[in-house]
Amino acid sequence: MKQLALAVSLPDHAIFDTFVAHGNEALVQQCRMLAKDSSIGETLFISGLENSGKTHLLQAMCHACPADVQAVYLDLDNPDFPPDILQGWEQVQLLCLDNIDRIQGQADWEEALFDLFNRRLERAPGKRASLVMTAARPLADLRLDLADLRSRLSSGLIHALAVLADEYLSEALLLHARQRGLEIPKETLEFILKRLPRELGSLMNWLELADQAALEAQRKLTVPFVRKLISEVN
């Protein structure tokens, strides 16, 4: 993946290998295909609850693009971004826009996104940018004032990202830990899942804190060390 000026530094752990696809196999396969060949100019809209893994999927797509492909991840949940930040991105092969529901009901933003769709469609076949977007609610529930924008969004592929079932949380936690170079012993894993909310986003946020704390203290994730970390966070 070639990084462009506004592309953020993507977390190393946000890759397909650490995404537990149980219940979302078809969506993950579609994302893998688009990352492999984004030149088809496909549009994909993904809805899902907060912390369900939408951001992970977008960033994994950018990571998985071939080295000569320009890919951009942009989170629209940023109050400092003006609508004209969407100018020029039709030139990249893969554009991932996170949290587009943050711009609903804002006329200037809706017009900017609609214009991006049109500029993208004006490019020659085979040179169009694939556009992948996420929102915390289904397309039908978005409060979009611009009917043409809703029509454009509806014309592409639409998927709902299912929340990861409780029995697969341990698998997700272990995959992310190993990607970071951390080992979580069985007894520590059981302790974590008993003490922390059994919710993917909360577990991933805690793991990031634990990774930093373990590095600074030069400690392994033993039960006593994890107990201390959890008490400090709470």
pLDDT in tens, 46-91: 999 998 999 999 999 999 999 999 999 999 999 899 999 999 898 8
* 137 lies in the same domain as 38: yes
* 31 lies in the same domain as 144: yes
The CATH number covering residue 105 comes to 3.40.50.300
Pick the last residue of a domain from 160, 183, 216. 160
What is the DSSP-derived secondary structure letter of residue 53?
A: S
pLDDT of residue 1: 54
8 is a domain residue = no
35-49 tens-digit pLDDT: 998 877 899 999 999
Alpha carbons 85 and 6: distance in angstroms, whole number: 9
For the cut 80, the answer to whether the pLDDT of residue 168 exceeds it is yes
* 154 lies in the same domain as 177: no
* 59 lies in the same domain as 146: yes
* 30 lies in the same domain as 138: yes
Residues 139, 149 contacting (CB under 8 angstroms): no
Q: What percent of the chain has pLDDT over 90?
A: 76
For the cut 80, the answer to whether the pLDDT of residue 176 exceeds it is yes
Domain around 205: 166-233
* 141 lies in the same domain as 117: yes
Alpha carbons 183 and 24: distance in angstroms, whole number: 26
21 vs 125, more confident: 21
* 192 lies in the same domain as 77: no
83 is a domain residue = yes
CA torsion angle for 199, 200, 205, 206 (degrees, to 10)?
Answer: 60
* 112 lies in the same domain as 227: no
pLDDT of residue 64: 96
Alpha helices (runs of H) in 13-146, residue ranges in sequence order: 25-36, 54-64, 107-122
* 188 lies in the same domain as 147: no
4 is a domain residue = no
Number of domains in the chain: 2
Alpha helices (runs of H) in 74-163, residue ranges in sequence order: 107-122, 147-154
* 145 lies in the same domain as 61: yes
pLDDT of residue 2: 47
Structure confidence at residue 4 as a pLDDT band (50, 70, 90): very low
Pick the last residue of a domain from 126, 142, 160. 160
Pick the last residue of a domain from 160, 195, 215. 160
* 43 lies in the same domain as 146: yes
206 is a domain residue = yes
Structure pTM? 0.89
* 111 lies in the same domain as 21: yes
Q: Name beta bridge partners: 132.
A: 44, 96
Alpha carbons 109 and 69: distance in angstroms, whole number: 27
9 is a domain residue = no
